Amino acid sequence: MTSSFRNKVIYQIYPKSFFDSDGDGVGDLRGAIEKVPYIASLGVDMVWFNPFFVSPGRDNGYDIANYYEVDPAMGTMADAEELIDALAQHNIGVMFDMVLNHTSTDHEWFQRALAGEREYQDCYIIRDAPQGELPTNWVSKFGGPAWAPFGDTGKYYLHLFDPTQADLNWHNPKVREEAANIVNFWREKGVKGFRFDVINLIGKEPELESAPAGVDDRVMYTDGVHVDRFLQELNRRSFGQDEDSVTVGEMSSTSIERCVAYSKPDNHELDMVFNFHHLKVDYDHGQKWSKVPADLRQLKTILNDWALGMQDGGGWNALFWNNHDQPRAIDRFGDAGELRVESATMLASVIHLLRGTPFVYQGEEIGMTDPRYTSIDDYVDVEALNAYHALVQAGHSEQRAFEIVHSKARDNSRTPMQWDASEHAGFSSATPWLKPTRQDEINVEREQSEGKILPFYKRLIELRHEMPVIAEGNYAPHALEHEQVFAYWRLLGQERLLVLANLTDKPAEVSVPEEMLGAEILVHNYEDPKPAASTTLRAYETIALYTSK
């Protein structure tokens, strides 16, 4: 594997919400094909598609029943092939989403296991329930216990997510072989990119244990000691055979040390990793289903620690603010109202100039915000609905429970892409499966004719291609103790890039070293940037200064 992904930018498409070509209110692969010219106009190098394989859709495609076929609601195999070709014509690669920690309980393997076939029971994690208790005290990430009855056997199967998502037993060679077969099937269709869903959960011990009192149960199954060798084997048997493959692992509740190991080239595991620590700074005591303002000090510390830690260890980060599981970053860290443009561009600059490979989630490039929903009935995600009921049950008023869900639901990012100002946002001729809002002010058409966010993203994407200091340079912090400003250097030989970003809506003074005062202003989000020895950054202002002298 080469380091060819360092100067690339990856665009993420949630196919169900990108563009609906056949008027059923649900996005599809032909919709994505129709929008290839738009994707190409962004200048991105690769597109990550969320899963569109056969699925009952309990978790929007992360519950896969057949990994080798396209879900009929999304299109056909011919459509998938055409999509790969259409993007390839613009030199854009595709990254497919491999959900290999669990299958849908509709998957043939689970059904055969249920029917009593021992060979298939060994593919899952099925345990006895001693004295009527569950095998361990683990909880599902979507709420409730992580164990469900395995038919009428009296045993239980593990599901770290929904009960319809049964965890696979990676200790079984059959499971590991099938994982490689799935990746190879798509490789043969020309797919070079792979995103591995919650892949640091596959290394669970054969002997599962309850978390001792006071210990977070996640430590009992996350980053297990077997993950490295399972990934190395998968690498060897599949994508590692392609010089130009690009792989990213989604790492749930992980550490810098583990992520170095997963992404260090010498380890032959993955190219890069997603971690979520920076997106938990608005969790109250680590609890997602809460509503508190983001802790900006903590955000800065995390961004800096990961940039330095991954660099020191020789690992590589995937950089992102948004994805299909996260509320929109503008609503969390910026201003989704008056200062939407300033905060959207500032956030973009922070991520795109860092050391790592940036990902742009559909709609981010036009400054889409969380939907302005007013009723719990507008939400559809299983996690959000479970959380709402749990919050009400725990004693929160319906209003408070709604506010919390409103701020954290995954639906926030899954609303249809807003192409124009029309009733269905130009996404579909029918009522979309999830309601768009604010499409009159926020849409592609408007952004293309008079917007400031889209050109800003395009410029950042170009800069990553053109400037080795951005792709390859070293990272070093600047003004680390500053209360409002996140600032850093990128350094390569004689080249120096200084990135300044005011994370707040208040003016902020920050020092600029003398050698940067005559430097080129590479990036700015206000008309008239004024770098000085003591620079006053306006609300959400960002400036990047560059010199090679």
Catalytic residue list: 197, 250
Least Cβ distance, residue 82 to ligand TEU (angstroms): 26
- Build a one-symbol-per-residue string for 171-200: x at contacts with ligand TEU by CB under 6 A, - elsewhere: --------------------------xx--
Closer to ligand TEU by CB, 197 or 365: give it.
197
Produce one character per residue of 529-547: b if its CB has 16 or more CB atoms within 10 Å, e if not. bebeeebebbbbbbbbbbb
Taking the complex as a whole, how short is the minimal distance between the CB of residue 15 and ligand TEU, in angstroms? Answer: 13
With CB under 6 A, what is the number of residues at the site for ligand TEU? 13
Q: Could you say which of 62, 320, 540, 546 contacts ligand TEU (CB under 6 A)?
A: 62
Question: Closest residue to ligand TEU, Cβ-based?
Answer: 62
Residue 288 C-beta: closest distance to ligand TEU, Å: 6
> Per rule CB under 6 A, is residue 359 in the interface with ligand TEU?
no
Q: Tally the C-alpha atoms within 13 A of residue 314's C-alpha that lie toward its C-beta.
A: 7
Q: For residue 429, give every residue at least 6 positions away whose Cβ sits within 8 Å of its Cβ, in sequence order, or none.
A: 20, 23
Q: Give the pairing type, strands 318-319 and 147-149.
A: unpaired
Work out whether 141 is an interface residue with ligand TEU (CB under 6 A): yes
For residues 161 and 230, which CB has a smaller minimum distance to ligand TEU in the complex?
161
Please state the closest distance from residue 60 (CB atom) to ligand TEU, in A.
7
As given in the structure block, the two tokens for residue 282 are: 């608005």
Q: Please report whether residue 276 would count as binding ligand TEU according to CB under 6 A.
A: yes
- Identity of the residue, 96 or 161, whose beta carbon is nearer to ligand TEU in the bound complex: 161
127 or 218, CB closer to ligand TEU?
A: 218
Q: Amino acid identity, residue 525? A: N
Question: Structure tokens of 6?
Answer: 């360092």
Q: Could you give the CA distance from residue 350 to residue 339 in angstroms, rounded to a whole number?
A: 17
Query: Which residue has 């032959």 as its token pair?
Result: 268
CB of residue 348 to ligand TEU, shortest distance in Å: 21
- Cα–Cα distance measured from residue 524 to residue 341, given in angstroms and rounded to the nearest whole number: 12
Helices in 149-290 by DSSP H: which ranges? 173-187, 227-237, 256-263
Exposed, middle or buried by CB within 10 Å (0-12, 13-18, 19+), for 108? exposed
> Does 283 contact ligand TEU by CB under 6 A?
no
Distant-in-sequence, close-in-space partners of 389: CB < 8 Å, separation ≥ 6: none
The answer to whether 281 contacts ligand TEU (rule: CB under 6 A) is no
Return the residues of window 80-139 that contact ligand TEU according to CB under 6 A: 99
Quote the CA–CA distance of 409 and 406 in Å, as a whole number: 6
Among 28, 45, 59, 411, binds ligand TEU (CB under 6 A): 59
Q: How many residues does the chain have?
A: 549
Q: Is 252 near ligand TEU (CB under 6 A)? A: yes
Can you point out the beta strands (E) in 251-308? 272-274
**Helix segments in 47-172, DSSP class H:** 77-88, 108-114, 118-121
Closer of 103 and 369 to ligand TEU (Cβ) = 103
Residue 325 in contact with ligand TEU, rule: CB under 6 A: yes
Residue 381 binding ligand TEU, by CB under 6 A: no
Footprint on this chain of ligand TEU (rule: CB under 6 A): 59, 62, 99, 141, 161, 197-198, 250, 252, 276, 279, 324-325
